[in-house]
Structure 1
Amino acid sequence: MSESYAVGILNDVVMGDDITEYLQRIDSTLAPFDGHFIIHGGSPDVREGQWTGDLIILRFPTSDAARHWYNSDAYQAIVPLRINNSLGTVAIFEGVDRQHRATDILN
């Protein structure tokens, strides 16, 4: 099984008490599922097009772990803190192994 990633692209984040609480609580929701941040916002070095928003990528050992984290009571308890204070998209992606080549998607 490949690692999986929860990817969020957030825009118009209203920094306030709710987002602060979300940030203070999210790490403890990740721990039981062996999830951790690999990208958490920052200033991208844009090479093509225009970049808007903040990119967040979390790594999990499996897609089941990522799904269980997102659906967990602990995470669902804090989701409204983010949703009510930002616009964004969140999705879970299964990773590919190190031998993957671009042409593999043609098969």
Structure 2
Amino acid sequence: MTAYAIGLQRPETMNEEILRYIEEVQATMDPFEGRFLVHGAEVEVMEGTFPGTLVVIGFPDIERARAWYASPAYQALIPLRARHIPGEIILVDGVPPGYDAHQTAAGLREAAGL
């Protein structure tokens, strides 16, 4: 099942460390079959507020997403980003093929006794 690394970021002023991070991050993802789906895109906020940009990286599964994040190559790059771009990084599983929200709602309804 596809998994995602999602970065919710509030970028600061561009500098050499951020550029180096951007130049080198793809090589850390390649061994884990990670690929950018969204990279630093400005968001169109429809509800609430979001003061930043978004990064979404897809991986074949959550194990590879975790392995990428924990890899020595990526861990070495994190300080370049973290010193200049505050935000959150999360890993999340996608839904399986054939996912049906109706079934999820039915299970939640039953569990809640509604």
Residue 72 of structure 2 is matched in structure 1 by 73
* Secondary structure in structure 2 of the residue aligned to 1:14: coil
Mapped to 2, the partners of 1:71 and 1:99 lie a distance apart of 30
Query: C-alpha deviations, 1:61-93, integer Å up to 9, x for none?
Result: 010000000000100010000011111100100
> For residues 94-105 of structure 1, what are the structure 2 equivalents within 5 Å?
94-103=93-102, 104=104
Segments of structure 2 that go 5 or more residues without pairing to the other structure are: none
Q: Give the TM-score normalised by structure 2.
A: 0.85
* Secondary structure in structure 2 of the residue aligned to 1:96: coil
> For residues 13-92 of structure 1, what are the structure 2 equivalents within 5 Å?
13-92=12-91
| Letter of the 2:80 counterpart | L
Alpha-carbon RMSD = 1.5
Contact (CA 8 Å) 2:43, 2:53: kept in 1 or not?
Answer: no
User: What is the aligned residue count?
Assistant: 106
Q: Of the two, which has the highest radius of gyration?
A: 2
The runs of 4+ residues in structure 1 deviating greater than 4 Å are none
**Per-residue deviation at 1:52?**
1.3
Q: Give the TM-score normalised by structure 1.
A: 0.90
The farther-off stretch of 71-80 and 36-45 is 36-45
Mapped to 2, the partners of 1:29 and 1:7 lie a distance apart of 16
* Secondary structure in structure 2 of the residue aligned to 1:15: coil
Segments of structure 1 that go 5 or more residues without pairing to the other structure are: none
Mapped to 1, the partners of 2:70 and 2:58 lie a distance apart of 16
